[in-house]
Chains A and B, each alone.
Chain A
């Protein structure tokens, strides 16, 4: 674990059932999800080891029931894990007392929920100020801060509305504002846009990227929508039956799927839009001529790839050449043969 690891999760297990601790202790190693189910238990999180570094956006994705929500609830200890360990900012979560846990949530964590989880009897402003009220801040300060966050998410003028008077997108903005009110270091988002219409979803994703650009938080984002994951993620963790199948950058997941499941998952993706020049660059042969940017996707470079005659095209990050990209390999991806 490096100094920049915010959440460190080691061999974490979460098993649901009548006596999960005893079961996990007596369970033979390498038991599969279905075998565990046959024993009368459900493995919500199955032997997960994953680190989240400061400032990164980790997207956890999987189908419903794959354990992604359970994993995130283990990170915030809304669920107690059955085995393994999870530490946040160096503190072992499971060894925290209730008071310490509340303190940690009050100062460091924010969470956004799929169906918003707003308190129906409080106005927008009171909902946003709720975490501040819980930690006992005085009325004046918390009002000021709440107004600030409400403005940040673009809900100015609706401070006195009640949740039921708002549209779904606006309600989720309140949810986001509430989660940001305490200025958390770690931001959990559990399928925040799944309950919204496609158009609003797109708008909220842009809004979210804007906020992230300003705030630069450490983010764990859950989604079942691969396009959303690709759009937002620094790294993607794909989950199935409680276990993480693969955790890597989007390019790597698309280019080198670790398992058959991940391959099937990525099959229908337009890889040219995902794979960036940086992922194809090889340091041993930089090639010659005008370089392309590492962040440019193969799709962005389509015209150049077809018209250029070089075998190796240099790739540069902020003006400095880091390697060369094989044009044929890039063309294969563009044509869907990669």
Chain B
């Protein structure tokens, strides 16, 4: 990070910089002094960790507050009423998708009909390949014998995604229209986006019923923020001339919104839809933790009992669903209307709709006569769970493989991870906070430094300091490892257009996978151990790092690299002196995302058995400990926000200083 701090010198005036640099040195010196004192046994315990007695009982206060809102203000009655409406909707989709015995008693829709309709939609949106992807996903799901659990997941998704869309759209419009709403919503959104998902789950369980309802609520809330942001962004970007044209056409305010603003913001709104769908899928899988049945629950159970074959198969299903939903919704974003020649008969104009309906009806009727079209029975599926399981386990038991994984595990644990963790834990709390403040100050300046001090101060006061430090340790070590692998990978890939495209595509695809998936390879290789935690975070965090490294390097203006070539720079000189400095602000966005992803993943990994905040969080899910749940969640959120604020501030400052576009 030293070179980053050096780079900063260019964008502040000499005097201001001198003070900033000096402050950083002073703060670092104090932190080191405190730590050394501690090692020498001279620092009193009260300065090493905040004494238990001085920690304010945040959890109790929060509990009191929640109880007040819940019972005295009658929020619980309200939410339980809402639950009924939601439950009704969920029952309808559940009946349609997998035949739950509820009104309207029509379902389940035959799997062939679903696959057929998916193929027609896919063809409409993106031709034969998309059609194959759509149909293939559902055919695979049915043949592998996961139809019912997949549809359990889909039935919640079908309710949560539209709900999140409409709420997000509405709030987005309000935030765009009224400054006050925007200002109120902004900080809430940034906290919501860093809040660990366990914190969404418990309130959902308490205020809404356990099972699909709570799952749907948590999923919806989780997916709303990006929809709000995209809606506001899209509406702000509508060209003023189009709006003026609307005004001159005599639009009323409502007509202007309905006919001018919203259609013109189509692209951004549809990007929002894509994000809503993907976040919903990611979350709906995770709601397994609160007992939501479906793919997630099955995966959780299979991984828990170390059934690798079945886990792998479910993983493939989830990935296929994710890729299909992502590709189709993205194709919808870029799909532009095409005109029909005059006097085109109506059936030609609606040919896709008609084909879709025809295919649907055909398979529904066919399923009445051919049972296999309706449902694939227990004995009929092609699941190879046991065989794959034996195969993987056999492979892992091979001596060379086992030696490699054992060595990696040993080296990582004994030489790197454990010493690093113990070192972090040995730093006195005040010194630790000062280190973070120095980091924020040197990168982001005064404001991020103040936020860092407040945020980490609050974490210290929460009484979960050691667990927070362990969380942070997992994040830092995994992200560092991810940088060591991901950045060089990006640099190499960025050298050629072809490889950039390939790796970017791989990253894009990988980013659509629900985070849960990343646990599978880690667990396969390293079993249920601490190494798996770091490994799964590593894989997850590498994706944005590689991606933004490539993007940063590829967007360096060609005249600059050409100037370097003409100045006689070697490839290495060009990379170090021209490309990397210019790409760094973009890469910083990748670092930031990697850190955010890592914070997210480290909590999920609690399921493997960690000693951090995630573990405690997961424990709260079993009870009604809302206060504690929130304190823990906010701790994670505060730490993540500190990094977010600092790094993003640095990236924007730097971009401005270099004159690069945002």
* Chain A residues at the B interface, C-beta cutoff of 8 Å: 73, 76, 78, 102-103, 105-106, 109-111, 113-123, 130-131, 133-135, 157, 159-162, 164-165, 175, 178-179, 182, 188
Contacts and interface: CB of A to CB of B under 8 A. Distances in A.
A121 B342 contact: no
B339 A102 contact: no
A322 to B, nearest CB: 41
19 contacts: A102-B250, A111-B245, A114-B241, A117-B244, A118-B242, A119-B260, A121-B263, A121-B337, A123-B339, A131-B250, A134-B249, A157-B342, A159-B342, A160-B339, A160-B340, A160-B342, A162-B336, A162-B338, A179-B248
A130 B342 contact: no
Contact of B239 (A117, A130, A159, A160): A117
A162 B335 CA distance: 13
A267 to B, nearest CB: 33
Contact of A161 (B260, B266, B339): B339
B509 interface: no
A146 to B, nearest CB: 13
Given A118-B242, A130-B249, 4 more contacts: A102-B252, A110-B248, A113-B245, A119-B264
B244 A105 contact: no
A178 B249 contact: yes
Nearest to B344: A160
B339 A162 contact: yes
A105 B260 contact: no
A165 B239 contact: no
B339 A105 contact: no
10 cross-chain pairs, A with B, having the tightest CB-CB distances, nearest first: A106-B250, A117-B245, A117-B241, A131-B249, A111-B248, A160-B339, A121-B263, A113-B241, A105-B250, A117-B242
Contacts of B249: 105-106, 130-131, 134, 178
Contacts of B10: none
Contacts of B336: 162, 164
A78 B245 CA distance: 10
B251 interface: yes
Contact of B264 (A120, A135, A157): A120
Contacts of B342: 157, 159-160
B244 A111 contact: yes
Interface in B222-251: 239, 241-242, 244-251
B42 to A, nearest CB: 57
Nearest to A130: B249
A76 B249 CA distance: 11
Interface in B630-644: none
Given A117-B241, A121-B266, A109 B248 contact: yes
Contact of B248 (A78, A103, A162, A164): A78
A328 B424 CA distance: 97
A228 B266 CA distance: 37
Contacts of A114: 241
Interface residues of B, number: 25
B447 interface: no
A106 B249 CA distance: 6
Interface in B274-331: none
A134 B259 CA distance: 9
A135 B250 contact: yes
Nearest to A161: B339
A10 B383 CA distance: 83
A109 B337 CA distance: 30
Contacts of B259: 119, 130, 133-134
B661 to A, nearest CB: 21
B336 to A, nearest CB: 7
B559 interface: no
B255 interface: yes
Contacts of A130: 249, 259
Contacts of A109: 248
Interface in B498-534: none
Contacts of B340: 160
Nearest to B263: A121
A178 B340 CA distance: 21
A178 B251 contact: no
B264 A73 contact: no
A159 B245 CA distance: 19
A134 B252 CA distance: 8
A175 B264 CA distance: 16
Contact of B244 (A102, A106, A113, A121): A113
Nearest to A116: B241
A105 B248 contact: yes
B72 interface: no
Interface string B257-269: 0011001101000
Contacts of B241: 113-117
Contacts of A159: 342
B341 interface: yes
Interface in B44-72: none
Given A114-B241, A117-B245, A119-B259, A162 B251 contact: no
B241 to A, nearest CB: 4
A122 B260 CA distance: 10
Nearest to B255: A134
Contacts of B244: 73, 78, 111, 113, 117
Nearest to B242: A117
A110 B241 CA distance: 14
Nearest to B250: A106
Nearest to A121: B263
Contacts of A111: 244-245, 248
Nearest to A179: B248
A134 B242 contact: no
Contact of B341 (A160, A179, A188): A160
A113 B239 CA distance: 11
Contacts of A117: 239, 241-242, 244-245
Q: Which of B244, B252, B340, B341 has most chain A Cβ within 10 Å?
A: B244
Q: Which of A78, A122, A134 has most chain B Cβ within 10 Å?
A: A134
A127 to B, nearest CB: 9
A178 B260 CA distance: 15
Contacts of A115: 239, 241
Nearest to B256: A134
Contacts of B250: 102-103, 105-106, 131, 134-135, 182
Contacts of A120: 263-264, 266
Contacts of B341: 160
B640 to A, nearest CB: 36
A111 B248 CA distance: 7
A54 B11 CA distance: 58
Contacts of A133: 259
B251 A134 contact: yes
Nearest to B262: A121
Given A119-B264, A121-B263, A162 B337 contact: yes
A182 B250 CA distance: 10
Nearest to B253: A98
A119 B248 CA distance: 13
Contacts of A118: 242, 245
Contacts of B248: 76, 78, 105, 109-111, 131, 179, 188
A24 B341 CA distance: 56
Given A78-B247, A130-B259, A165 B339 contact: yes
